[in-house]
């Protein structure tokens, strides 16, 4: 913390019954630079009193800026890289009065802490010194997809949340979240734009990997544990906690054909009242654990009625029935509502229908159902519907114009601002938003955390097949052919790695769930796994399985970011594993018996693409005659063999 922000403690002389004594006033941060201790700077006062004082001091422009959650300028125009563009950010803070941003920096914990400290220094220099709330997409998992997750940058590396769903252990989720919380706060991150409480009901949906599966009760329980671990308790966010923003309210997983709502072709999700109730129930744990925030989903929710009235055909961020009637009313949610990114932006022709000649690029907007409204009208509609803060926008002018025109009342503006600022006080940011970079380097990715993460990677795997007792493999001296497995990891366990299956005694193959690139010109569509789930002859991974299984007993580990169809893989693999984010070392430890897989499938695996096409995207696990049912594990019903691989 800068010395200029502190004032030496003063003494007040009080008289009580004729006796004089000195009361020490603690050092404080002179946030508004006026040389005296003001109520909102006084740590001894109740938070509500401090908040009231700050609200009285804020201009309309500062209040409007508080409702923007920006993607800050950095090495890359969308915030990627190792450093923020501090000169541009200083200008944005001064002119737009923003005090919330998402960090997408991918760098070392020490450097990330230093960069976040630099951001807080800029915020401290503003008129009222309002500290910056810094958020992030998940950083502790394997998958990195722009707009959904971020490169870890030295953080502990755990299975995807699907892996936690496979283990069905709220205590483990709570422990994971506790480790991640400490890592986040050590580098100066205060808000997790996670977890997803979305139900994985459409097998082709590309966001499945970050869910807790298809069972609403299990999802609810694991989301509650996640929130508790991150926020520091079940009663809401604490001063040592990280605020969670649970997403995406509600029905996001019910996207026809699995097409995602980031894209114009995925702007509508279809449910009915019964399926909608299941998707809502998945959020119950978030409310029970008092999550700080909720993020509405992108798509228009169709086919649902609330109190006998059809939902308005607008994206959830503009829907007063979803945000007011159900979220605030039925569920009595009192926290803050943060929109998903760019819902007030236009979606021009190259966004709606990009081509090879005119790809979407950065023409990104998701104003689903309100395309004909002006940007100003979208801000007004969203705020009046229940949004408290808008993600991914940095221009306050449209919202400011709406307020000045009376399209948004001052009471509604103040209500939203209070929710955003209250969280800053609860997190202790007004008192000290700075972190120690050296401590960040010690906390993030520390050996104890990674040891538990490694164990979770191993145990979350699901054994699907183990014919002829091929597992565990005897490693010492066994000749193995590998595909997508690090040879060094195999040699470290005693395997002899060969270059041809014909020379091997056994093959170990890692494969990814199949996918297609159906929308290569869309910004998000080109980054998401869409389309088919079945292995076909021209898939490189399946070609490797065919080659190996024709020569030797073959062990296949498939990473299930979506529910793959394994019908033709099962018939060729002696042993079959499902993984949900695991290192080569973790897979080999399971294959050799050094670790035992304890997972069970977090969703069913369909028999065929025809079965996938016939199922209801809004209902979980409803394909006809699935190859493996949700909850399946070979380990539950079979004894795992104790001898080595079959010889040639």
Active site residues: 215, 340
Residue 317 near residue 385, CB atoms below 8 Å = yes
Tokens linked to 114: 């230093």
Vertex 600: Cα angle to 594 and 606 (nearest 5): 125
Q: How far apart are CA 456 and CA 173, in angstroms?
A: 10
Q: How many residues does the chain have?
A: 648
Closest CA to 169 of 247, 225, 214: 225
**Strand, coil or helix: 445:** coil
Give the start-end residues of each E strand in 164-299.
Answer: 191-192, 243-249, 268-270, 293-296
**If you write DSSP's letter for every residue of 69-116 in order, what string do you get?**
EB---BSSTTSEESSB-HHHHHHHHHHH---EEE-EE-S-HHHHHHHH
Backbone angles phi, psi at 266, to 5 degrees: -120, 30
Residue 275 near residue 201, CB atoms below 8 Å = yes
DSSP state of 628: B
Q: How many helices (H) and strands (E) does the chain have?
A: 22, 24
Q: How far apart are CA 162 and CA 284, in angstroms?
A: 19
Tokens linked to 243: 């605020």
CA dihedral sign, ordered 468, 473, 477, 479 = positive
Classify burial at 299, counting beta carbons within 10 Å of its beta carbon; exposed 0-12, middle 13-18, buried 19 or more.
buried
Give the start-end residues of each E strand in 203-267.
Answer: 243-249
Closest CA to 165 of 119, 196, 124, 144: 196
Vertex 394: Cα angle to 392 and 398 (nearest 5): 110
Q: Which residues contact 637 (CB under 8 A, 6 or more apart)?
A: none
Angular region, 566: left φ>0, alpha ψ -120 to 50, beta rest = alpha
**What are residue 301's DSSP bridge partners?**
269
Residue 212 near residue 165, CB atoms below 8 Å = yes
**Strand, coil or helix: 117:** helix
Angle between helices 216-231 and 170-187 (to 10 degrees): 40
Angular region, 386: left φ>0, alpha ψ -120 to 50, beta rest = left
Q: How far apart are CA 561 and CA 525, in angstroms?
A: 16
Angle between helices 216-231 and 273-281 (to 10 degrees): 30
């Amino acid at each position: 913390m800068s010395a200029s922000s502190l004032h030496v403690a003063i003494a007040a002389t009080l008289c009580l019954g004729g006796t004089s004594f000195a009361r020490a006033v603690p050092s404080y941060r002179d946030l508004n630079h006026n040389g005296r201790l003001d109520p909102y700077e006084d740590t001894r006062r109740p938070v509500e009193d401090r908040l009231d004082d700050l609200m009285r001091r804020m201009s309309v422009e500062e209040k409007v800026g508080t409702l923007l959650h920006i993607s800050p300028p950095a090495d890359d125009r969308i915030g990627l890289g190792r450093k923020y563009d501090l000169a541009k950010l200083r200008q944005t803070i001064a002119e737009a009065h923003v005090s919330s941003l998402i960090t997408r920096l991918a760098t070392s914990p020490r450097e990330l802490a230093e960069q976040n400290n630099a951001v807080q220094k800029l915020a401290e220099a503003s008129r009222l010194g309002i500290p910056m709330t810094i958020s992030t997409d998940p950083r502790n998992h394997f998958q990195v997809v722009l707009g959904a997750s971020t490169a870890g940058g030295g953080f502990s590396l755990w299975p995807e949340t699907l892996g936690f769903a496979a283990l069905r252990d709220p205590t483990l989720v709570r422990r994971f979240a506790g480790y991640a919380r400490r890592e986040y706060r050590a580098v100066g991150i205060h808000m997790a734009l996670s977890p997803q409480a979305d139900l994985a009901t459409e097998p082709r949906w590309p966001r499945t990997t970050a869910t807790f599966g298809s069972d609403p009760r299990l999802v609810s329980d694991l989301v509650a544990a996640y929130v508790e671990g991150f926020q520091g308790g079940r009663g809401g966010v604490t001063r040592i906690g990280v605020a969670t923003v649970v997403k995406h309210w509600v029905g996001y997983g019910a996207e026809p054909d699995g097409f995602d709502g980031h894209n114009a072709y995925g702007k509508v999700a279809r449910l009915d009242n019964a399926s909608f109730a299941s998707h809502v129930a998945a959020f119950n744990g978030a409310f029970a654990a008092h999550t700080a925030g909720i993020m509405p989903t992108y798509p228009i929710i169709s086919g649902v009625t609330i109190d006998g009235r059809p939902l308005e055909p607008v994206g959830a961020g503009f829907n007063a029935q979803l945000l007011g009637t159900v979220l605030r009313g039925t569920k009595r949610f009192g926290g803050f509502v943060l929109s998903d990114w760019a819902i007030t932006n236009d979606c021009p022709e190259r966004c709606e229908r990009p081509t090879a000649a005119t790809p979407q690029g950065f023409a990104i907007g998701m104003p689903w159902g309100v395309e004909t409204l002006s940007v100003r009208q979208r801000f007004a509609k969203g705020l009046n519907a229940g949004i408290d803060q808008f993600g991914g926008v940095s221009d306050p002018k449209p919202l400011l114009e709406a307020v000045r025109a009376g399209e948004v009342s001052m009471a509604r503006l103040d209500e939203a601002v209070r929710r955003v600022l209250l969280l800053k006080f609860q997190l202790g940011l007004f008192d000290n938003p700075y972190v120690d970079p050296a401590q960040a380097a010690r906390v993030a990715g520390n050996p104890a955390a990674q040891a538990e993460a490694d164990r979770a990677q191993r145990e979350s795997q699901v054994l699907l097949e183990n014919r002829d007792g091929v597992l565990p493999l005897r490693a010492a001296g066994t000749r193995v052919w590998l595909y997508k497995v690090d040879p060094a990891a195999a040699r470290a366990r005693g395997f002899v790695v060969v270059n041809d299956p014909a020379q091997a005694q056994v093959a170990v193959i890692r494969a990814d769930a199949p996918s297609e690139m159906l929308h290569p010109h869309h910004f998000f569509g080109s980054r998401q796994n869409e389309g088919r789930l079945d292995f076909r002859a021209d898939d490189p991974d399946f070609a490797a399985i065919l080659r190996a299984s024709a020569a030797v007993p073959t062990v296949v580990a498939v990473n299930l970011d979506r529910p793959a169809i394994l019908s033709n893989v099962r018939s060729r693999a002696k042993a079959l594993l499902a993984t949900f984010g695991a290192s080569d070392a973790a897979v080999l430890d399971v294959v050799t018996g050094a670790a035992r897989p304890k997972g069970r499938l977090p969703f069913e695996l369909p028999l065929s693409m025809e079965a996938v096409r016939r199922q209801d995207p809004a209902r979980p696990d409803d394909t006809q005659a699935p190859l493996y049912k949700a909850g399946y594990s070979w380990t539950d019903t079979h004894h795992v063999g104790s001898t080595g691989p079959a010889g040639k």
